[in-house]
Chains A and B, each alone.
Chain A
Amino acid sequence: MTKDNGTISKQKFMEELRRYQKGSVTRRHFLGVTGLGMATAVLGTAVPGLRPRPAFAAGDIGDRVILATWPNYHDEMNFEAFTEATGAHVQVNVFGSNEEMLAKLQAGGSGWDVFVPTNYTITTYVGEDLIIPLDTSKLPNYDAGSFEQRFSDAGSVDGQLYAVPKNWGTTGFAVNTSKLDGAPTPTTWKEFWDLTMEGYSGRTMVHDYQLTTIGNALKYFGYSFNSVDEKELADAEKLLLDAKPHLFAISSDYQPPMRNGDAWMTMCWTGDGKQMNVDMPEIAYVLGTEGGELWSDYYAIPKGAPHMDAAYALIDFLLNPEVNAKEVLAHGYPSADARTNALLPKELLEDPILYPAADLLNALEFGAAATLTDPNRAELLARFKSA
């Protein structure tokens, strides 16, 4: 599409930029002479199998698609390839909690085309009439049979498909074992909380998220992760309040302090655990033997999505096993799609952080819709934070 013009001097680049800004040259000319177009084109076509396909002629689905998702959860190159193939630019909004996503959709006018809800939110979205049933004829890459059922069945409500699986994972804790003074690595939530209040005082982080922070406090007593029982929640609250003076922070942004050594232990999601473990092997990822959370994320389309065709096109594109495999390699969260897994390297599929042993996995619970919307749990977390 463009020929390589070789290098361009800074001065020349600025001159071209001015010309482009003043409108005296076209965007195509600007990208061409500066080499930026070339760079974009190379990035886009470097991914095999993702070159422009006749399925969507550029412009058919509009020029953009807006995706609301989680941090560090996609491969940028895939988005470039999508833009290359369809002409639609992917605009990404990053969120920190399901509640926040729900709040945005409830308030209306989110402007999103695709978003990434977690399993336990989908019935609420359906109940509140905030998402649309999916038309599988527009998702040729969706093959229901290839997904492991426990990670895909929350996408259907009353037999109707509303969301298709993205990735799944666990919520455990990450611990910097170099600070244990030779003691064995903790393996339970009981040890997590005890260590917080003793040897790791001032060094532990918990999520700024009621589902996991309260859920994992409930686990200390062996209660269900999803409990909304008054007495059990009272026990969890007491534990949280006792632990609070010993916490380094209440925040879901735990990678930076874990990496620079300010924090030694934190509640942690699979992918973050994997990312930290790869760079710093002394940081271990542990699933409490008492259990904890197992979760599965989905793609869904909000009601009134402004670019509906682009929304379907993007989901279908990301469900393509080749694309999906690149996603997994980039973010480190497992996929439930057998077709995708067939394309992944064996070491990854045998990784104990991504794919925990069956007995650990079986002790985990999926978060429940009632847990998410329970006002008492929300208030409990607020009391904990303001204490």
Chain B
Amino acid sequence: MTERGRKALLLAPAGIWLLVMLALPLLVVFVFSFGERGAAGGYVPAFTLEQYANLPARWTAFKNTLILAPLGTIAALVIAYPLAYFLAVRCSPKWRTSLLILVIVPFWTSILIRSYAWIFILGGRGLPALLESIGIDDVRLINTPFAVLVGIVYGYLPLMVFPIFVSLDKLDKRLLEASADLGSTPWRTFRQVTLPLSVPGIATGCMLVFILLMGEFLIPAILGGGKVFFVGNALVDLFLQSRNWAYGSAVAMTLVVVMLVTVSIYMKFIARLGGQREDVSLM
């Protein structure tokens, strides 16, 4: 077999998969977004920009998503980085594997069930009751944006920990020694050596979490009590409740565009920050 043929063969499964499962559905959504809603719901072919003109009606959903998704990503990063650093640099190899497994263990249970567990922790008989016993009264946690943020950080933390762990783990420890030998304080070594070298991991983790958060609907529905409305929730309602496929498609297309724009700005920013474009490119 020629080199070319071998390459084609290697790429075929992924290529076909992407074509059938991504490109074609996206095309359908694109076409639907110019259509109209049928009388009993569904889709009627048409060519109208009406659906896009109606987009402002979902502005709050976009606003909530665009505030809480980055916030959740940053919160996950702030919590994940020290953990990943500890696992990769400080932890004795004897413990490392067990601790890494502990990070993965939550994935063995469905996110739905894990989010439900938080209802009880954040509900009136959970944390608020505990706070009340030390004199802090009338704290409401469940069904607030805060509860959604907690659920997001909890649910997505492993996705942030692993890429950062990997980038820190393969970091050449001799560089740290060199830095110390040349008189750097530990803090300066961290800032000028460790942190920049872990940028690819940070970038990957943030990207993974952010992209998934932009489409999130389960956590806001469960921990936000239906009051914290993401674009994902708007889409679920449009397709499953009001069955307005045309408008739903327009909202979905807009979300894709918003995501592409945000992510490309983000990639440029990260590339400049890390100065090592080739390592960062995920896309």
B243 cross-chain contacts in A, Cβ below 8 A: 99, 102-103, 106, 378
Q: With A106-B42, A262-B142, A387-B60 given, is the CB distance from A249 to B37 under 8 Å?
A: no
Select one of A103, A256, A382 contacting B240, CB under 8 A. Answer: A103
Interface residues of B in 224-259 (CB under 8 A from A): 225-227, 229, 233-234, 237-244
B70 on the A face (CB < 8 A): no
Select one of B124, B143, B237, B239 contacting A382, CB under 8 A. Answer: B237
Select one of B40, B41, B226 contacting A250, CB under 8 A. Answer: B226
Q: Is the CB of A386 within 8 A of B61?
A: yes
Select one of A99, A208, A375, A382 contacting B234, CB under 8 A. Answer: A382
Q: Which of B125, B225, B229 has the most CB of A within 10 A?
A: B225
A248 cross-chain contacts in B, Cβ below 8 A: 143, 225
Select one of A128, A202, A261, A378 contacting B244, CB under 8 A. Answer: A378
Q: With A382-B237, A385-B237, A386-B58 given, is the CB distance from A261 to B226 under 8 Å?
A: no
Q: Is the CB of A381 within 8 A of B241?
A: yes
B226 cross-chain contacts in A, Cβ below 8 A: 208, 249-251, 385
B10 on the A face (CB < 8 A): no
B277 on the A face (CB < 8 A): no
Residue of A at shortest CB range from B242?
Answer: A378
B105 on the A face (CB < 8 A): no
Q: Is the CB of B242 within 8 A of A382?
A: yes
Residue of A at shortest CB range from B241?
Answer: A99
In the complex, what distance in Å separates the CA atom of A133 from the CA atom of B229? 40
B145 on the A face (CB < 8 A): no
| 0/1 interface trace, chain A 199-223, chain B, CB 8 Å (1 if under) | 0001001001010000000000000
A74 on the B face (CB < 8 A): no
Select one of B40, B120, B225 contacting A124, CB under 8 A. Answer: B40
Select one of A99, A124, A249 contacting B227, CB under 8 A. Answer: A249
A190 on the B face (CB < 8 A): no
In the complex, what distance in Å separates the CA atom of A102 from the CA atom of B60? 27
In the complex, what distance in Å separates the CA atom of A128 from the CA atom of B221? 31
A127 cross-chain contacts in B, Cβ below 8 A: 40
Q: Is the CB of A386 within 8 A of B40?
A: no
Interface residues of B in 192-237 (CB under 8 A from A): 221, 225-227, 229, 233-234, 237
Interface residues of B in 26-73 (CB under 8 A from A): 37, 39-42, 57-58, 60-61, 64
Q: Is the CB of B60 within 8 A of A99?
A: no
Interface residues of B in 94-126 (CB under 8 A from A): 119-120, 123-125
Number of interface residues of A (CB under 8 A): 34
A205 cross-chain contacts in B, Cβ below 8 A: 225
Select one of B58, B142, B240 contacting A99, CB under 8 A. Answer: B240
Residue of B at shortest CB range from A261?
Answer: B124
Q: Is the CB of B233 within 8 A of A375?
A: no
User: Which label, helix, strand, loop or mixed, suits the secondary structure of the A interface?
Assistant: helix
B188 on the A face (CB < 8 A): no
Select one of B123, B140, B225 contacting A260, CB under 8 A. Answer: B123
Select one of B41, B61, B227 contacting A373, CB under 8 A. Answer: B41
Q: With A103-B243, A247-B227 given, is the CB distance from A128 to B40 under 8 Å?
A: yes
Q: Is the CB of A103 within 8 A of B225?
A: no
| 0/1 interface trace, chain A 365-387, chain B, CB 8 Å (1 if under) | 00000000101001101110111
Interface residues of A in 334-387 (CB under 8 A from B): 373, 375, 378-379, 381-383, 385-387
A289 on the B face (CB < 8 A): no
Q: Which of B37, B120, B124 has the most CB of A within 10 A?
A: B124
In the complex, what distance in Å separates the CA atom of A262 from the CA atom of B39? 40
In the complex, what distance in Å separates the CA atom of A249 from the CA atom of B241? 18
Smallest Cβ distance from B154 to chain A, in angstroms?
Answer: 19
B58 cross-chain contacts in A, Cβ below 8 A: 382, 386
Q: Is the CB of A102 within 8 A of B119?
A: no
Q: Is the CB of B241 within 8 A of A210?
A: yes
| 0/1 interface trace, chain A 252-278, chain B, CB 8 Å (1 if under) | 000011001110000000000000000
Q: Is the CB of A262 within 8 A of B123?
A: yes
Q: With A260-B123, A260-B124, A381-B241 given, is the CB distance from A386 to B60 under 8 Å?
A: yes
A382 cross-chain contacts in B, Cβ below 8 A: 57-58, 234, 237-238, 242
Q: Is the CB of B41 within 8 A of A383?
A: no
Q: Which of A247, A257, A262 has the most CB of B within 10 A?
A: A262
A181 on the B face (CB < 8 A): no
Residue of A at shortest CB range from B239?
Answer: A103
In the complex, what distance in Å separates the CA atom of A379 from the CA atom of B247? 11
Q: Is the CB of B123 within 8 A of A375?
A: no
Q: Is the CB of B39 within 8 A of A373?
A: yes
A244 on the B face (CB < 8 A): yes
Q: Is the CB of A249 within 8 A of B240?
A: no
B241 cross-chain contacts in A, Cβ below 8 A: 97, 99-100, 103, 210, 378, 381
Residue of A at shortest CB range from B128?
Answer: A262
Residue of A at shortest CB range from B236?
Answer: A100
Residue of B at shortest CB range from A251?
Answer: B226
In the complex, what distance in Å separates the CA atom of A123 from the CA atom of B244? 19
| 0/1 interface trace, chain A 93-108, chain B, CB 8 Å (1 if under) | 0000101101100100
Residue of A at shortest CB range from B119?
Answer: A256
Interface residues of A (CB under 8 A from B): 97, 99-100, 102-103, 106, 124, 127-128, 202, 205, 208, 210, 244, 247-251, 256-257, 260-262, 373, 375, 378-379, 381-383, 385-387
Q: 6 closest A-B pairs (Cβ-Cβ)?
A: A249-B225, A378-B242, A250-B226, A386-B60, A386-B229, A262-B124
Interface residues of B (CB under 8 A from A): 37, 39-42, 57-58, 60-61, 64, 119-120, 123-125, 140, 142-143, 221, 225-227, 229, 233-234, 237-244
Additional pairs, 6, CB under 8 Å, beyond known A373-B41, A375-B242: A106-B40, A106-B41, A106-B243, A210-B242, A256-B119, A383-B57
